[in-house]
Structure 1
């Protein structure tokens, strides 16, 4: 809605066909430039397009073309009509002065299409002419100056005599009804399907039909029987209906035996060699097949020397996965800060059922972890998938020992990346609890953080939240993990 300080004019119009049917389409009003109204703190721009309603009418309220304080001035609206079925759309210019609050396009639009477009320019009013001629004063004063002094009332004249009534005329006789005229001749057909002749004759092709002679004929169309199907007589020989001539060289009521199709009878016995198979004696023998052990792996005895790794693997020491070879741990032990969750990355190369999370303590003091201490397993999305019971049940005073912490339930892990999590609470002195075997501990971002830029998995770190007394159900790996200078050794099986 326009501000009240901008004078407006409501423009209406109605468009009908010659028989009174409402037209459809739209009418566009376009100012020649962007209009600025500084007093109203507003800038107006762009065309205004109004669609004809169901009665063919339009109505729109627009700023007056002579609104005070408007920049630029001295312009007119360009009206463009786009009406369905009326071509081409005409365009013309109109002024909308503020003194006329309403205007109808029927009074403004040019009616003669042969005339050039024009702008309806308002002429000077009588008051404006009077001002031009030297009158000084307001419109009200000028209107008052047009009223003369009241003259004296004249005498009442004498009443005239009443005239006599005129004679009543005689009523004429009603004339007889005329003879009805003859009916006019019927209109003449001008053309039929584009043909103009005294006697038009149409063929099947003239009306988009198929000739009756094309039914069942070559190059024509197929006929349908009473069931709506093409008769067998009009089907090609390859469309079916012919009997099988023979089966495997036999005719009549054919019954095939196993030998007829190159097969052995169901009760016939063959050796492995006769059926192209390997006998059980070939298991583990030269040119035979390799057996699998109870875990589904090929035994080392059946692997070539080059396929047997020359380094220690987790399986060699009974684990499914570990963070790194424990033989390369640092000489100093890692004592965990209370309430921190440490994360150690492991890789499962194949699916496995896990029941234990393992750590190595280079030594353990007199104060044991309390019942707010836990170990757990998180997948690479940060969801906790397994957890131990409280660690106060697993640690004892020692000078070096593998600590195997049982999960509350076995976990069937798919192959992939996981974090072993460790939370220690209880020991108050830095060296009064378990001292864990660890890898490199140089700086705040040790080599345990090394990875390619495309890899998001952080091998060693800890959660940014402190003071925890339980493992969280999940965390956001991209934001919750911070680097840690200590790479604690951990394993799972």
Structure 2
């Protein structure tokens, strides 16, 4: 027998919890040599649904016979769950609890299953249909009573808006019901802005002027306000500060200072034209002849009897020339230096002239030194001391010891994960067929990513076309993806063992990821009635809308999109991600 049920809150949100089915303490099947015992507890999945196979209450060759199941509902948010009896005869192989569970407490405790299906009635007239599209309905579409919903999506100045209008076909023609439905949108611009692609009621802020405009039926019109306030009053002028005080002048500190020429490195005025003083200049700008340093006080008339441009030689002054002077001294061979490092004249040597390194260009083996610029080492630098400051080298053993006894993703062959899987909920959940699930992970260092990893509590295979997984960066841009997960080589392996198993799917190409935040997104398509989808490891998710944003930077660690896509989209709109989603575990390898 297959028993199904689905439990929702009045607003349509799936409930969480479990149902317990109790039979007699033991059921014996002598012909099959089998004894069954104990209650059967079934956990609600992410859609608030259960599906379980149970023995029929009138199964042949079963002892005891003539009994009924006791069903107990244990639902989160409902303090006292119902408990009632049901029969599951073989003649009804599939049963939904919504058809047989009592809703009125005054009803008898025992509830049987529906009887065999009756004969099919006559075909009734066609019912009304609802169509949808992005343009107005064409005249030949549908019949009277049908509805048409038009969705117009536009993007203007980075704002995407959708306008919804409803049409009904009456007397062979389509007519719009009411007006368009769309919330007002805010736009930001710093120049003249057209009203095309906008709707009445939309608002525009000119960031250059602060003017605010509201769209009317005819366009933007004139500004309706301004965000800038009036200029404030000027503050009061503070009192004048005290005057400065000179502490000293040329090294002298006194109430009344008198400087002399010597105090400022000058000659006294009385030294001009005086003995041992300085010469003065005449009206022609030249030193007077009386102050020239000659015995007669006049100009030089001749030098050694020569006039004009005089060039004296050693003989003119009774001196020896260079050759005659050198000849008077003993000059042993090899003593005079004729060049230094190949240089002659006024020699100034540098480090390279003597095969040495210039100061500041070599690393000292001892002592303090600052080494600038990027350096490449042929072997890894090592240190025997533990770091004590932010800019110190750290030994590998020191870094490894910081991990303590905590398990890290690398300890289990992974690059990163959403959280330690040992801390996950013991009861796995189905992700649902169709929606996009998202889990954030963090790479602490650059790595080559080749696979996306999950942990399944059970999986019998059966993903269909439209199933995929992809990796997105912190801006929501897709950087890597798998092939269609329904194809060989891409579909995760089946899982049938107790405790489940870790499975993975390869990326179509390895991705060289820099350190930072990434989002793993996936969509599974499967037959929910036969349970083909995987039961996935999750963190505790029994709260109706579990919180998935922690800290102050608003990073959403878990989320979902109710509307799926047949292939991985090129980007995700992170601001549109639903927050109250189950916390599915995933990792990268």
Task: State TM-score, norm by structure 2.
Answer: 0.34
Q: Which has the higher contact order (CA 8 A, sep 6+)?
A: 1
Task: State TM-score, norm by structure 1.
Answer: 0.41
Larger Rg: 1
